[in-house]
C-alpha cells in the first residue's frame, strides 16, 4: 500500500490498494487475468477497490480468469458475488455483471461436435469400416477439437483409425441430439471423403480392426436396419453413388463483422442444372 | 465415524470414514454429487477413503460435481489432484483419471451454435430484415440454447425479434469459425422459414426496428457486397427463389447406440430428378 495521503473521491476517504490486472474487452467490460500468486485477503481488498473503479467507469461484465494455480481465490471470488461461466482443465472463468439492466453475458459453449467419415474408393463400390468392441463395423468417428475445421477432423480421424490419406468432398447430412454429455448437446456431421492412399494401417488402440468393405456388406449389418441414422446414411451413400444426391461442400470465407476466416458449407450443385427463371 | 473395530484389508488397518455420495456412470467411472454441506477436513478424509474403494473396484474416471454452495471444496479437490472439466453458472465439474492408461475423459463442449433466419413471404419477393445499432438491416440471429433444436431456435428468434410466426423449411448453409468466444468455436446455421403470420411487432429491446424488405433492397446494402457471408446468403436465396437450390431439411430420427431422439438434416431433394443409373 502506498503511504501517500489517501485521496478524497466523492468526499469519502479512499484507500489505495493494488488494483487487479485487467484489460478492457470489446463489449464494455473487463477481463481480469491473474498471473502472480495472491493471498485471499489481498485479493478481496484489491477486488473491491477494482470494482469501485469499474463502477465509476460504467463497466458492465467483469470476467475473472483463475488458472488452476490460483484455486485459492475461487471461494473468495464466489463470496464476492462472482458466478461460474466456463472451465477448461487449466483454468476457471467466473463472471460478474455490474449494471442493473439485464445481463448480456454470452452463453457458454453448448455443443460438442463430432464427425463420421464415409470413404468411397475409386471403384465407388466400396467403403471402409472399422470394428469397434461390439463386433459392429462402423465408419470412423471422432470429436472435433476446439479450433479445428470439421473437414480437417474427418481427414484426421480416418488417418488415425486406418492410416489412409483422404480428401474432403462433402458433408452429406448432420444430426443434432441432446444430453449426450451431461446437459450438452451434440452435432454429428457425416462427411464423404475420397482416398488418396489405399493401404490400411490400423493405428488407433481403441479400434480392433480396419478394412475396406463392400458397400453392400456394410449396409447389410443387422444394426444398419435397426437404426434410423445408419439406415439414412446408407441410403444417402447409395444415392450419392448414383450421383443423385448433393451434400454441402466447403468454401473459405470471411465472416460478418469481424472479418475472421471461416468455412461456409453449402450446396455447390456443380452437376445440377439451373432452370430458366 | 463408526466405533466398531477397524477392519483389516490387505493386512493394513483401515479406518471407516463417511464415503462420498456417488453413482456409477456408463463408462466404468463414478459421479460424485455433493448435496449436503461439508467442511473441508471431512471432505478430504471421505475423498481419500472413497478413492481407496474406487481403486480396488477398478474405477476409471471420477467426476466431482460441486454446486456453487460447495465452493469451499474446490481448493481441497484441486489439491487432491482433480482438474477442472467444465462449469455452468451454478456448478463446477471436476474430474480425476485413476488408471495408468491414457485418459478417455471426453472433451468439453467446444462450439457455440447460432442461427440466422431468412423469412420469405408468400410472394417470394420479399424478406424481412431488422435494424441493428449500426444502421444495417440484418436477418434475425441468435444463440441456440443447450437442448434446443436448431430449427426451433430459428422460429423462436424470428418470433422474439418481430412477432412473426413461422414454419421451418431448410438449412440453406452453415458456417464454422473459431475463437469467436474465448477459445470456443462457432457454428452459424442459415435457416429458411415460411411465415404463417405477417404483422410485424418488434419485441426485442436490442432491435431498433423490424420490417418486411424487398429482397433486392436487402441485397443492395453496401455491407452485402463487402462481406463474403452476406453475399453468399443472398446468392443462395436468389437461387432458392428460382427453385435451383437444395438445402437440408429436417427429419426426426433415433440415434446410433443410445436410441435418443434427434433430428437429421439432409437433402430431401423433393424437386430434384433422379438420373437413371
Q: Which helix (H) or strand (E) holds B211?
A: strand B209-214
* Domain identity same for B152 and B254: yes
CA-nearest residue to A257 within chain B is: B227
A226 touches chain B (CB under 8 A): no
Q: What does the pLDDT read at residue B122?
A: 63
Of A45, A75, A97, the one marking the end of a domain is A97
All residues at 6 or more sequence positions from A189 whose CB lies less than 8 Å from its CB, including other chains: A113, A114, A115, A116, A144, A150, A154, A171, A174
Residue B227's CB is within 10 A of a number of other CB atoms, namely 19
Given an 8 Å threshold on Cβ–Cβ distance, is A178 in contact with B147?
yes
Q: How far is A260 from chain B (nearest CA, A)?
A: 7
Chain A positions touching B86 (Cβ under 8 A) are: 86-88, 182
Residue B223: pLDDT band (50, 70, 90) is: low
Given an 8 Å threshold on Cβ–Cβ distance, is A110 in contact with B110?
no
Half-sphere exposure (Cβ direction) of A263: Cα atoms closer than 13 Å: 15
Q: Is B12 domain-assigned? A: no
B236 touches chain A (CB under 8 A): yes
* Domain identity same for A24 and A73: yes
Given an 8 Å threshold on Cβ–Cβ distance, is A232 in contact with B251?
yes
Of A97, A119, A142, the one marking the end of a domain is A97
Choose from A210-219, A225-234, B213-222 the range with maximum mean pLDDT.
A225-234
Q: What does the pLDDT read at residue B129?
A: 53
pLDDT tens for residues B190-211?
999 998 987 777 666 666 667 7
- For residue B196, give its domain range: 111-266
State what percent of residues in chain A have pLDDT above 70.
Answer: 78
All residues at 6 or more sequence positions from B43 whose CB lies less than 8 Å from its CB, including other chains: B20, B73, B76, B77
pLDDT tens for residues A156-175?
999 988 888 999 999 999 99
Half-sphere exposure (Cβ direction) of B81: Cα atoms closer than 13 Å: 8
Q: Is B154 domain-assigned? A: yes
All residues at 6 or more sequence positions from B235 whose CB lies less than 8 Å from its CB, including other chains: none
* Domain identity same for A127 and A171: yes
Average confidence score pLDDT of chain A:
82
Q: Does residue A140 have a pLDDT over 50?
A: yes
Chain A positions touching B88 (Cβ under 8 A) are: 84, 86, 108, 183
Q: Is A271 domain-assigned? A: no
Given an 8 Å threshold on Cβ–Cβ distance, is B269 in contact with A256?
no
Of A97, A129, A151, the one marking the end of a domain is A97
Residue A198's CB is within 10 A of a number of other CB atoms, namely 12
Pairing, β B141-143 against β B111-119: antiparallel
Residue B248: pLDDT band (50, 70, 90) is: very high
Q: Residues 52..71 of A with a Cβ closer than 8 Å to B: which? A: 68, 71
B275 touches chain A (CB under 8 A): yes
State what percent of residues in chain B have pLDDT above 90.
Answer: 47
Q: Best of A33, A88, A125, A225 to disrupt the B interface by mutation (most B CBs within 10 Å)?
A: A88
Are the beta carbons of A241 and A166 closer than 8 angstroms?
no
Chain B positions touching A226 (Cβ under 8 A) are: none
Q: Does residue A129 have a pLDDT over 60?
A: no
Q: Is A130 domain-assigned? A: yes
Q: What is the DSSP secondary structure assignment for residue A216, as one 8-state letter?
A: H
- Domain holding B203: CATH number? 3.90.79.10
* Domain identity same for B120 and B182: yes
A247 touches chain B (CB under 8 A): yes
ipTM of predicted assembly, 2 dp: 0.82
pLDDT tens for residues A23-62?
999 889 999 989 889 999 999 999 999 999 999 999 999 9
More confident residue, A250 or B219: A250
C-alpha cell at B86: 467444465
* Domain identity same for A210 and A252: yes
Mean predicted confidence (pLDDT) in B152-176:
93
* Domain identity same for B206 and B233: yes
Q: Does residue B258 have a pLDDT over 70?
A: no
* Domain identity same for B136 and B257: yes
Q: Is B6 domain-assigned? A: no
B232 touches chain A (CB under 8 A): yes
Q: Is B273 domain-assigned? A: no
pLDDT tens for residues B112-137?
999 999 988 765 545 555 544 455 66
Choose from A212-221, A248-257, A268-277 the range with maximum mean pLDDT.
A248-257
Chain A positions touching B261 (Cβ under 8 A) are: 177
Given an 8 Å threshold on Cβ–Cβ distance, is B175 in contact with A90?
no
Q: Best of B37, B65, B95, B146 to disrupt the A interface by mutation (most A CBs within 10 Å)?
A: B146
CA-nearest residue to B246 within chain A is: A267
* Domain identity same for A27 and A147: no
Looking at the structure of chain B, the number of domains it has is: 2
Q: What does the pLDDT read at residue A276?
A: 37
Q: Is A275 domain-assigned? A: no
* Domain identity same for A247 and A198: yes
Q: Is A38 domain-assigned? A: yes
Are the beta carbons of B268 and A175 closer than 8 angstroms?
no
Residue A137 DSSP SS3: strand
* Domain identity same for A38 and A164: no
Chain B positions touching A247 (Cβ under 8 A) are: 267
C-alpha cell at A57: 467507469
CA-nearest residue to A27 within chain B is: B181
pLDDT tens for residues A182-196?
788 999 999 999 989
Q: Best of B69, B107, B129, B236 to disrupt the A interface by mutation (most A CBs within 10 Å)?
A: B107
Q: Does residue A261 have a pLDDT over 90?
A: no
Q: What does the pLDDT read at residue B161?
A: 84
* Domain identity same for A174 and A229: yes
B262 touches chain A (CB under 8 A): yes
More confident residue, A197 or B247: B247
C-alpha cell at A145: 477439437
* Domain identity same for B126 and B218: yes
B80 touches chain A (CB under 8 A): no
End-to-end CA distance of chain A: 76
Cα separation, A44 vs A165, whole angstroms: 55
Amino acid at each position: 500500500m502506498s503511504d501517500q495521503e489517501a485521496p478524497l473521491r466523492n468526499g469519502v476517504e479512499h484507500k489505495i490498494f493494488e488494483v487487479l490486472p485487467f484489460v478492457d474487452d470489446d463489449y464494455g467490460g473487463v477481463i481480469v487475468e491473474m498471473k502472480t500468486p495472491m493471498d485471499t485477503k489481498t485479493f478481496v481488498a484489491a477486488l473491491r477497490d477494482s470494482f469501485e473503479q469499474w463502477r465509476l467507469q460504467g463497466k458492465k461484465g467483469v470476467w475473472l480468469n483463475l488458472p488452476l494455480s490460483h484455486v485459492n481465490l475461487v471461494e473468495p471470488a464466489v463470496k464476492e458475488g462472482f458466478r461460474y461461466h466456463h472451465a477448461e482443465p487449466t483454468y476457471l472463468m467466473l463472471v460478474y455483471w455490474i449494471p442493473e439492466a439485464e445481463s448480456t453475458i454470452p452463453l457458454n459453449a453448448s455443443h460438442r461436435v463430432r464427425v463420421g467419415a464415409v470413404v468411397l474408393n475409386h471403384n465407388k463400390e466400396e467403403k471402409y469400416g472399422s470394428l469397434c468392441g461390439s463386433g459392429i463395423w462402423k465408419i470412423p468417428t471422432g470429436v472435433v477439437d476446439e479450433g479445428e475445421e470439421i473437414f480437417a477432423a474427418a481427414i484426421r480421424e480416418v488417418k488415425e483409425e486406418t492410416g489412409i490419406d483422404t480428401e474432403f468432398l462433402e458433408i452429406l447430412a448432420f444430426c443434432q441430439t441432446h444430453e449426450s454429455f451431461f446437459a450438452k448437446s451434440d452435432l454429428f456431421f457425416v462427411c464423404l471423403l475420397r482416398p488418396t492412399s489405399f493401404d490400411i494401417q490400423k493405428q488407433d488402440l481403441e479400434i480392433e480392426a480396419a478394412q475396406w468393405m463392400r458397400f453392400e456388406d456394410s449396409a447389410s449389418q443387422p444394426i444398419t436396419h435397426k437404426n434410423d441414422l445408419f439406415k439414412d446414411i446408407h441410403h444417402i451413400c447409395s444415392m450419392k453413388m448414383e450421383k443423385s444426391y448433393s451434400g454441402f461442400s466447403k468454401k473459405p470465407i470471411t465472416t460478418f463483422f469481424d472479418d475472421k476466416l471461416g468455412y461456409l458449407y453449402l450446396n455447390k450443385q456443380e452437376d445440377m442444372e439451373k432452370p430458366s427463371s
